[in-house]
Structure 1
Amino acid sequence: MTASQDLLATLADIDPASELAQARATRDAATRHAQGSYEVLFSQQHDDFPLAERVALAAQVAEWHGAERLRAHYAAHPAFQPLDDAPRHQQGLAFARRLSVEPVAAAPQHIEALREAGWSARGVVTLAQLVGFISFQSRLLAGLQLLQGEEANCPAQAAVAGRWHTAERTASGQRALTAFTQAELGWEPWLPAKPLAEFDADEQALLARFGHSDSDYFRLLARNQPLLEQRTLTDKGIFYTAGGLPRAERELAATVASKINGCIYCASVHARKASQLAKDNDAVQKLLNVAPGAVLSHGQSPRWAAEIDLAASLSVTPPAASLTQLQALREHGLDTLAQLDLIQSTAFFAWANRLMLTLGEPFLPSDAQG
């Protein structure tokens, strides 16, 4: 990948000869497919979500996340046009703001409002993906700037556990979750997943390759399959690669982001993986048990506490991670590649949480109910 094809390297002004550039080259799949996600989002010619709307919304989302360089990049796009007062644009903005600032506040009626304003099912999915992607992109850029010794000028934010859903039933009447857990959960969409029979042979093959043919979540995201493919490959490039940060600690970062955003489903999956890989169920459960408004790293080992503190601060909106936190990671033995892994794992869940929280909700399967 050349520098001109790597937007984040350009915006972060990464020296191609630096240790950071080498670490990103080591994580080639994550680097390429993060760029690939950007290229798909801003090259598609979809009448139900035109490019002018995409770049205008991207610039606004970047601003909410405190990413000035990213905002300026999208505002300078040749297709950029300010959004007007049309119901479609105003509903799109309201949805984007909720996803950006407080995704746990999303509810089925917000998707209904988009549909009534003229958004197609594919358009709604792509809008959620766009907001999630810019949330990821802005945090990854903030992390890359930190790794270059540059601290963001965002206002200080308390990086504490966020609130989460407290309703005892889902929209469809299934038993909902009101506390974080390591149990295996179900997830139901608020917008219908695309039936498998409506995918052509190549599209079905792609879903099968990733092992997600039976997943409502993935068949929902597959309403924009090229974007889903790049996102999935980005995920694999961040979490399933050798060396650097131990896998358990990447899963820890995903769990921390999910606690900040109030995403019980994502936390259940990744806390369970962290617990299994680290062989420390008690430490992971202690993290899950932190109440809203409390500090997430309390009572953890020094290394995990340092990782949790940075991941939590990177996950708030706008991100508030600091050079002091990065230095603490170095003191606990994390080199540049391991620091990059922690930042990318955290940033990715700014994307994943926002999809899970705003397109559907978790439920407790009947066979798990006591």
Structure 2
Amino acid sequence: MTQSNDLLAELADIDPASELAQARATRDAATRHTQGSYDVLFSQQDSDFPLVERVALAAQVADWHGAEKLRAHYRAHPAFQPLDDADRQRLARDFARRLTEEPVAAAPEHIQALRDAGWSARGVVTLAQLVAFVSFQSRLLAGLRLLQGSETGSEPHAAVAGRWHTAARTASGQTALTAFTQAELGWEPWLAAKPLAEFDADEQALLARFGHSDSDYFRLLARNQPVLEQRTLTDKGIFYTPGGLPRAERELAATVVSKINGCIYCASVHARKASQLSKDNDAVQKLLNVAPGAALAHGQSPRWAAEIEFAAALSVTPPAASLTQLQALRAQGLDTLALLDLIQSTAFFAWANRLMLTLGEPFLPADTQG
């Protein structure tokens, strides 16, 4: 990949001869498919979510995240024009702001309001993907700039555990989760997943390739399959590559972000993986048990505490990670590649949590209840 088609390298002013550029080349799949996700989202010509609306919303989301260079990039796009106050765009803006600033506040009625205003099911999914992607993109950019010695520019603010859902029942009446857990959970969509039979043979083959055929979540996201494909490849490039940051610590970062955003489902999956890989269930459970408003790193080992504090600070809105935190990580032995892995793992869950929290909710399967 050349810098000319690598937006983040351009916006972060990464020297092609630098150690950071080499680390990103080592993580080629993550680098390529992050760009690929951008390329798909901003090249589709869907009438149910036109490019002009995508660009305007992306600029607004970047602004909410304090990502000035990213905001300027979208505002300079040839298709950019300000949003109007018609119901369709006003509701999309409200949806985007909630998804940006407090995704745990999302509810089924917010999706229904979009549908009532004329948004198609595919359009709603693509809207959620776009807002979540820019949330990921803005944190990647902040992290890349930190690796080059530039502060984020955000005012310091506490990175503490966020609130989470406390209702006893899901929208469909199943047993809801009111605490973080390492148990295996179910997830129900608030917008119908696309039935497998409605995908053509090639689309079904792609779902099968990634193990998505039986998942309501992925068949919902597959209402825009090109975006889902690039997102899945980005995920695999970030979490399943050798060397650099140990896999357990990438999973730890995903869990931290989920605690910041209040995503019980994502935390259950990635805390369980962190426990299995680190063989330190007690430390992972201690993280899960942190109450809303409390610091996440209390009682952890120095290395894990430094990683938790950095991941948490990068995950708040706007991001507040600092050079001091980065230096603390280097003091714990993280080199540039490991730091890139930590940044990318953290940033990706700004994307994943926002989809999980906005398009559905977790439930406790009947066969796991006492």
Report the TM-score, using the length of structure 1 for normalisation. 1.00
Q: Structure 2 CA distance, aligned partners of 1:117 and 1:100?
A: 21
The reply to whether residue 212 of structure 1 matches residue 229 of structure 2 is no
CA-CA distance at 1:157 after TM superposition: 1.6
Amino acid at match of 2:340: L
The reply to whether residue 24 of structure 1 matches residue 24 of structure 2 is yes
Q: Structure 1 CA distance, aligned partners of 2:17 and 2:156?
A: 33
CA-CA distance at 1:129 after TM superposition: 0.1
Q: Residue in 2 aligned with 1:186?
A: 186
CA-CA distance at 1:187 after TM superposition: 0.1
CA-CA distance at 1:205 after TM superposition: 0.1
Structure 2 counterparts to residues 144-293 of structure 1, below 5 A: 144-293=144-293
The reply to whether residue 328 of structure 1 matches residue 331 of structure 2 is no
Q: Structure 1 CA distance, aligned partners of 2:219 and 2:343?
A: 28
Amino acid at match of 1:175: T
SS at match of 1:49: coil
Q: Structure 1 CA distance, aligned partners of 2:142 and 2:105?
A: 25
Amino acid at match of 2:363: F
The reply to whether residue 107 of structure 1 matches residue 107 of structure 2 is yes
Q: Which runs of 5+ in 2 are unaligned?
A: none
Q: Residue in 2 aligned with 1:81?
A: 81
Q: How many residues align?
A: 370
CA-CA distance at 1:256 after TM superposition: 0.1
CA-CA distance at 1:65 after TM superposition: 0.4
| 1:110-130 Cα distance to aligned partner (Å, 9 max, x none) | 000000111100000000000
Q: Residue in 2 aligned with 1:300?
A: 300
Q: Residue in 2 aligned with 1:36?
A: 36
| 1:317-351 Cα distance to aligned partner (Å, 9 max, x none) | 00000000000000000000000000000000000
CA-CA distance at 1:277 after TM superposition: 0.1
SS at match of 2:17: coil
Amino acid at match of 2:348: F
Query: How well do the aligned residues superpose, as a CA RMSD in angstroms?
Result: 0.3
CA-CA distance at 1:152 after TM superposition: 1.4
Amino acid at match of 1:235: D
Q: Which runs of 4+ in 1 moved over 6 A?
A: none
Report the TM-score, using the length of structure 2 for normalisation. 1.00
Q: Structure 1 CA distance, aligned partners of 2:243 and 2:130?
A: 30
Structure 2 counterparts to residues 303-314 of structure 1, below 5 A: 303-314=303-314
CA-CA distance at 1:155 after TM superposition: 1.5
| 1:30-85 Cα distance to aligned partner (Å, 9 max, x none) | 00000000000000000000000000000000000010000000001000010001
SS at match of 2:362: strand
Q: Structure 1 CA distance, aligned partners of 2:354 and 2:85?
A: 25
Structure 2 counterparts to residues 346-361 of structure 1, below 5 A: 346-361=346-361
Q: Structure 2 CA distance, aligned partners of 1:114 and 1:298?
A: 41
Q: Structure 1 CA distance, aligned partners of 2:359 and 2:157?
A: 27
| 1:79-106 Cα distance to aligned partner (Å, 9 max, x none) | 0010001000000000000000000000
The percentage of aligned residue pairs carrying the same residue is 86
CA-CA distance at 1:153 after TM superposition: 1.1
